[in-house]
Amino acid sequence: MKFHIDDLPIIFPYDRIYPEQYAYMCDLKRTLDATGHCVLEMPSGTGKTVSLLSLIVSYQQFYPNKRKLIYCSRTVPEIEKALAELKRLMDYRMTCAETEEEKAKEQNFYGLGLTSRKNLCLHPEVSKEKKGRVVDARCRDLTNSAVCEKGRQNPGSVELCDWHENLGQMEPGNLIPPGIWTLADVLQYGRDKRVCPYFLVRRMMPFVDVIIYSFHYLLDPKVAEQVSREVSKDAIVVFDEAHNIDNVCIESLSIDLTRPMLDSAARSVGRLGEKIEEIKKTDASKLQDEYAKLVEGLQEASQDEDSFMANPVLPEDLLKEAIPGNIRKAEHFVAFLKRFVEYLKTRMRVLHVVAETPLSFLQHLKDITYIERRPLRFCAERLQSLVRTLELNRLDELSALQKVAGFATLVATYEKGFLLILEPFETDNATVPNPIFHLTCLDPAIAIKPVFERFSTVVITSGTISPLDMYPKMLQFTPVVQETYSMTLTRNSFLPLVITRGSDQVAISSRFEVRNDPAVVRNFGSILVEYSKIVPDGIVAFFPSYLYMESIVAAWNDMGILNEVWKHKLIFVETPDANETSIALENYRRACDNGRGAVLLSVARGKVSEGIDFDHNYGRAVIMFGVPYQYTESRILKARLEYLRDAYRIRESEFLGFDAMRTAAQCVGRVLRGKTDWGLMVFADKRFARADKRAKLPRWINQYITETASNLSTDMALTLSKLFMRTISQNPNENQTGISLWTLEDIEKAQAKQKALALEAQQQQDQHMDDAEDEYYGDGGLDDEILREIDLDV
């Protein structure tokens, strides 16, 4: 279907469109025109990705200054889905193209996805490695520029990667024919042509129109420096599924050190020392060259593909000056590192919890070891230079040392928004010390700041980012558009229910004090049993934490509750291992397809809760057992809460509630895809009944929780569920078209209505112009205001 928003022709790859999709596209276009940032919440399963891509690609193809799209998602499945969506969109655009010229334009459109070497490697041996870090290291050994040069001059002298070599022989910028390539496609292309998919994507990045990768590739300075540095400033950046973006920001600047890591780092330092001695004897000039370079100033990163560990701090915080004299000489630097590691080791011996600011840490460090802040800041960079000079192999063995250097650089760079916490024991009751030194970033705004500053348009969107104003507050930016859309439905296709007590009227809750109470456990269990009796196909149950899930699974088994479930459905459980869980998931889907039906037990915020859809028969009911609060005893969380309160005036309880509800909504929102799909959403905890909790749910869920459905016992909920399933299974009589589905005519009607309203507003405004000229600054302001109102009405 083809329609216009203002003067922009949009090609949408379906015959109909949901009204909320249309509204979403309008707002998105407004943001792009205004070159500002926006926060958009669109109900899960209403085709957010396709609307977004459809609008942005139309925008790119229509305007001459092709703005590149950087589309970030959370997980590889989501990346692959977005790529598939894009591929289908482009296929559709091709069929819509009227002239040859247009067709050629669509054909020359590039879209690629990037993921790690581990996921893209084709080398027969390297790809067998289990750990991504090892794959990275071995790949670098075979592909870095020094080795390649040597190998090419003197074939056979060193081992090279054929796939990488073949790629090098191709014409740069034309490594792969234009089009959209999903990760699977790129892999297959690599196999067919015997070229390396990873480097292919990396080298094609400057030429593509759309690049899709995960948040980290833009937010984590360690990766972003290598991957995303050359992207131009007018690119459109989209963070899809951005409800967790603050956590990704924080993660990308936080580091943990443990004792085994320090031991390993110490060993690496020793090995570096030996290597230096060795080189001194064989090729002393190398070290002198390096020294000379360092004296002159910062060594330019030779080739970005080579850099194995970029600086962990943000680019603007890098010091653009020469490396301090006392660590310029290789042996001095090694001694320096040694001292630092020793210092950290002694700190680890403390048997009580320590929390301190970076400043106080640096002070203490200086008092004890005379290590100054300035050289510490250069630690990561200096290490990189040294490793390159020594031409070391198998960098994964150095990873602990790299972490220590990163830790040093971070701690010396940032004063505010960070905290160091030393926890000698894993839990409060543990007796054997297992110390962890956390360097934790408390402020998500730090990591995302460069993104907001550098790119003119950043779109933050998800199915669940209520309350909307929380994100601008936490991430410190000003959106030009901030919008949430409700779901237009001709009949309620999902039923949210809040179960507050079991059939025996005992209140249920995952509150810490009562969560292991047998009555609560049994009542939780009976919810699962009863629902497995009445719901067809798949049921997904989420628990607030792994610990709770594991203990409750054991308890249910011993109580014979699971035996009841086995009678009706198969049971699958999320395990610690990702691959194992994937296989369980696949079997879960087979059981749902087969009609046998299955129950999947998993964890909110866990592996399964992100990026896996439970639409249609894969999830007819989602049960949220308890409110998925974070573990409030965690010292890191406490520190973060304190910081949020002091810096942004966000109350602790407010943040915790917000965080729990967005997680719950995220889990529950996975049941729907499209408006003909249906599902039950069961919130099983008495705390969900409280209005302030529910107010934090996205509006599109909350508006369908009726007063009666907000405080139910298990048996009442079952009655309602049965009733719902009976009604939803009927053939819908009423035609959805025009209400929850729009055809082209409906869009035009809505646009005409909008225009009329806008005209009216314009006239009114003209009348008032004389009285209140100062209050309006042009036509745009009010227009937008009214447009937004209209969108909500449809």
233-241, 268-276, 313-321, 556-564 -> range binding other proteins (CB under 8 A): 556-564
Helix count (H) and strand count (E) of the chain?
Answer: 32, 21
Interface stretch with other proteins, choices 24-32, 193-201, 234-242, 587-595 (CB under 8 A): 587-595
Tokens of 613: 């859809």
CA distance 603 to 624: 9
Q: Which is nearer to other proteins, 664 or 717 (CB)?
A: 664
Q: Indicate whether 759 belongs to the interface with other proteins (CB under 8 A).
A: no
**By CB under 8 A, is residue 217 in contact with other proteins?**
yes
**Cα gap 53→400, rounded to integer Å:** 41
* Block residue for tokens 């069961």: 682
Side-chain half-sphere of 94: how many Cα atoms within 13 Å?
12
- Residue 653 as a binder of other proteins (CB under 8 A): the answer is no
Q: Can you tell me which of 161, 245, 528, 636 binds other proteins, judged by CB under 8 A?
A: 636
Identify the CA nearest to 455 among candidates 300, 674, 238, 651.
238
Burial pattern 696-708, b for ≥16 Cβ within 10 A else e, equals bbbbbbbebbeee
Within 59-88, which residues bind other proteins (CB under 8 A)?
Answer: 74-77, 80-81, 84-85, 88
Measured over the CA atoms of residue 395, residue 400, residue 402 and residue 403, the dihedral's sign is positive
- Between 479 and 544, CB nearer to other proteins: 544
List, edge to edge, every strand of the sheet that includes 69-73. Answer: 179-180, 110-113, 210-214, 69-73, 236-239, 457-462, 37-41, 479-484
In terms of CB distance, is 17 or 42 closer to other proteins? 17
Among 31, 143, 254, 462, binds other proteins (CB under 8 A): 254
Locate 216 and state its tokens.
């980290």
The reply on whether position 736 binds other proteins by CB under 8 A is: yes
Does residue 264 touch other proteins according to CB under 8 A?
A: no
Check residue 587 for interaction with other proteins (CB under 8 A): yes
Torsion angle defined by CA atoms of residues 138, 143, 149 and 152, in that order, rounded to the nearest 10 degrees:
100
Give the SS3 label for residue 453: helix
Residue 379 CA to its chain's centroid (Å): 29
> Number of residues in contact with other proteins, rule: CB under 8 A?
111
Helix (H, G, I), strand (E, B) or coil at 651: coil
- Determine the interface stretch with other proteins among 203-211, 376-384, 584-592, 713-721 (rule: CB under 8 A): 584-592
> Does residue 185 interact with other proteins by CB under 8 A?
yes
* Out of 40, 69, 603, 705, the residue judged to bind other proteins by CB under 8 A: 603
Q: In whole angstroms, how close is the CB of 591 to other proteins at the nearest point?
A: 6
> Closest approach of Cβ 113 to other proteins, in Å?
11
Q: Could you give the angle at which helices 399-413 and 259-296 cross, rounded to 10 degrees? A: 70
Q: Binding other proteins by CB under 8 A: which of 158, 187, 298, 647?
A: 187
Residue in 17, 314, 468, 540 binding other proteins, rule: CB under 8 A: 17
User: Which of 19, 43, 47, 619 is in the footprint of other proteins by CB under 8 A?
Assistant: 47
Rounded Cα–Cα distance for residues 25 and 5 (Å): 8
Residue 353 binds other proteins, judged by CB under 8 A: no
Window of 10-18, 28-36, 460-468, 689-697 that interacts with other proteins by CB under 8 A:
10-18
State yes or no: residue 568 binds other proteins (CB under 8 A). yes
Nearer to other proteins, 16 or 690 (CB): 16
Q: Quick check: 674 binds other proteins (CB under 8 A)?
A: yes
Smallest distance from the beta carbon of 232 to other proteins, in angstroms? 23
Q: At closest approach, how far in Å is the CB of 17 from other proteins?
A: 7
DSSP notation for 164-202: HHHHHTSPTT-SS-SEE--HHHHHHHHHHHT--HHHHHH
Q: In whole angstroms, what is the distance from residue 636 CA to residue 593 CA?
A: 43
Helical ranges in 115-180 per DSSP H: 117-120, 132-143, 145-153, 162-168
CB of 608 to other proteins, least distance (A): 7
Query: Which of residues 190 and 496 has its CB atom nearest to other proteins in the complex?
Result: 190
By CB under 8 A, the residues from 390 to 449 that bind other proteins are 426-427, 436, 438, 440
Listed ranges 319-327, 581-589, 644-652, 681-689: which one lies at the site for other proteins (CB under 8 A)? 581-589
Site residues (CB under 8 A) for other proteins, limited to 92-121: 115-116, 118-119
Candidates 28-36, 569-577, 754-762, 775-783; binding stretch for other proteins (CB under 8 A): 569-577
The contacts of residue 522 (CB under 8 Å, 6+ apart) are 502, 559, 561
Q: Name which position in 27, 41, 574, 746 contacts other proteins (CB under 8 A).
A: 574
Angle at 214 between CA 697 and CA 640, to 5 degrees: 55
Tell me the closest approach of the beta carbon of residue 152 to other proteins, in angstroms: 29
| 655 vs 632: CA distance, rounded Å | 12
Q: Is 585 in the site for other proteins (CB under 8 A)?
A: yes
Beta-strand relationship, 598-603 and 538-543: parallel
Q: The tokens 């160091």 sit on which residue?
A: 420
Q: Which of 557, 617, 762, 765 binds other proteins (CB under 8 A)?
A: 557
| Contact criterion met (CB below 8 Å) for 243 and 466 | no
Q: Work out how close the CB of 36 gets to other proteins at its nearest, in angstroms, rounded to a whole number.
A: 28
Among 634, 703, 719, 764, binds other proteins (CB under 8 A): 634
To other proteins, the closest distance from the beta carbon of 203 in angstroms equals 19
Residue nearer to other proteins on the CB measure, 70 or 255: 255
Asked if 563 touches other proteins (CB under 8 A), the answer is yes
- The answer to whether the CB of 410 falls within 8 A of the CB of 378 is no
CA 42/CA 189 separation, integer angstroms: 35
Residue 80 or 209: the one with the smaller Cβ distance to other proteins is 80
Segment contacting other proteins (CB under 8 A): 54-62, 245-253, 518-526, 695-703?
Answer: 245-253
